[in-house]
Amino acid sequence: MDHHTLQKAQCFQGNLEKIAKSTHLVRMGHCLPGTMEKICLEFSPNNTVLATWQPYTASKDGTAGVPNLQLYDVKTGTCLKSFIQKKMQNWCPSWSDDEIICARNVNNEVHFFENNNFNTIANKLHLQKVNDFNLSPGSQPYKVAVYVPGSKGAPSFVRLYQYPNFAGPQAALANKSFFKADKVTMLWNKKATAVLVIASTDVDKTGASYYGEQTLHYIATNGESAVVQLPKNGPIYDVVWNSSSTEFCAVYGFMPAKATVFNLKCDPVFDFGTGPRNAAFYSPHGHILVLAGFGNLRGQMEVWDVKNYKLISKPVASDSTYFAWCPDGEHILTATCAPRLRVNNGYKVWHYTGSILHKYDVPSNGELWQVSWQPFLDGVFPAKTIMYQAVPSEVPSEEPKPATAYRPPALRNKPATNSKLHEDEPPQNMKPHPGGDKPLSKTALKNQRKHEAKRAAKQEARSDLAPAPTPQSEPRNTITQSASGDPEVDKKIKNLKKKLKAIEQLKEQAASGKQLEKNQLEKIQKETALLRELEDLELGI
Task: Give average pLDDT by consecutive 10-residue segment, the chain, 541 residues.
Answer: 46 40 36 54 91 85 81 90 88 92 91 92 89 90 91 87 86 88 90 92 70 87 91 91 93 91 92 92 93 89 92 90 92 91 89 91 89 88 89 74 68 67 71 51 62 65 51 38 63 86 84 78 84 77 60
With respect to residue 261, please indicate whether it lies within any of the assigned structural domains: yes
pLDDT of residue 324: 93
| 309 touches 358 (CB < 8 A) | no
Domain ranges, residue 518: 511-540
pLDDT of residue 37: 57
Q: Which of 194, 196, 212 is nearest to 204 (CA)?
A: 212
The secondary element (H helix, E strand) that includes residue 303 is strand 301-305
CATH number for 368: 2.130.10.10
Domain end (from 365, 397, 429): 397
How many other C-beta atoms are found inside a 10 Å radius of the C-beta of residue 49?
22
133 vs 103: CA distance, rounded Å: 9
pLDDT of residue 484: 56
Q: Which of 129, 116, 164, 128 is nearest to 144 (CA)?
A: 164
pLDDT of residue 480: 36
With respect to residue 332, please indicate whether it lies within any of the assigned structural domains: yes
Q: Which of 51, 88, 99 is nearest to 72 (CA)?
A: 51
Measured in whole angstroms, the distance separating CA 260 from the mean position of its chain's CA atoms is 11
pLDDT of residue 481: 40
In Å, the largest CA–CA distance within the chain is 110
Q: Are residues 390 and 257 in the same domain?
A: yes
Q: Are residues 384 and 240 in the same domain?
A: yes
229 vs 28: CA distance, rounded Å: 33
With respect to residue 355, please indicate whether it lies within any of the assigned structural domains: yes
Domain end (from 397, 413, 445): 397
With respect to residue 492, please indicate whether it lies within any of the assigned structural domains: no
Whole-Å CA distances, 524 to 213, 501, 504, 532: 16, 11, 8, 14
With respect to residue 369, please indicate whether it lies within any of the assigned structural domains: yes
The secondary element (H helix, E strand) that includes residue 183 is strand 183-188
216 vs 209: CA distance, rounded Å: 16
With respect to residue 470, please indicate whether it lies within any of the assigned structural domains: no
CA R_g for the chain: 29
pLDDT of residue 469: 45
Q: Are residues 244 and 391 in the same domain?
A: yes
Helix residue ranges, H only, 124-184: none
pLDDT of residue 13: 44
Domain end (from 375, 397, 419): 397
Measured in whole angstroms, the distance separating CA 131 from the mean position of its chain's CA atoms is 21
**Per DSSP, which regions of 54-155 are E strands?**
69-73, 79-83, 94-95, 101-106, 109-114, 123-126, 132-135, 143-148
pLDDT of residue 398: 66
**Entry pTM:** 0.69
The secondary element (H helix, E strand) that includes residue 68 is none
pLDDT of residue 442: 54
303 vs 292: CA distance, rounded Å: 9
162 vs 140: CA distance, rounded Å: 9
User: Domain total for the chain?
Assistant: 2
508 vs 524: CA distance, rounded Å: 11
With respect to residue 297, please indicate whether it lies within any of the assigned structural domains: yes
pLDDT of residue 103: 93
Q: Find the angle CA(228)-CA(447)-CA(275) to the nearest 5 degrees.
A: 60
- Sheet order of strands, 143-148 included: 132-135, 143-148, 156-162, 174-178
Total number of residues shown for the chain:
541
Eight-class DSSP state of 108: T
69 vs 426: CA distance, rounded Å: 51
Measured in Å, how far apart are the chain's first and last C-alpha atoms? 68
282 vs 352: CA distance, rounded Å: 12
The DSSP bridge partners found for residue 198 are 185, 216
pLDDT of residue 299: 87
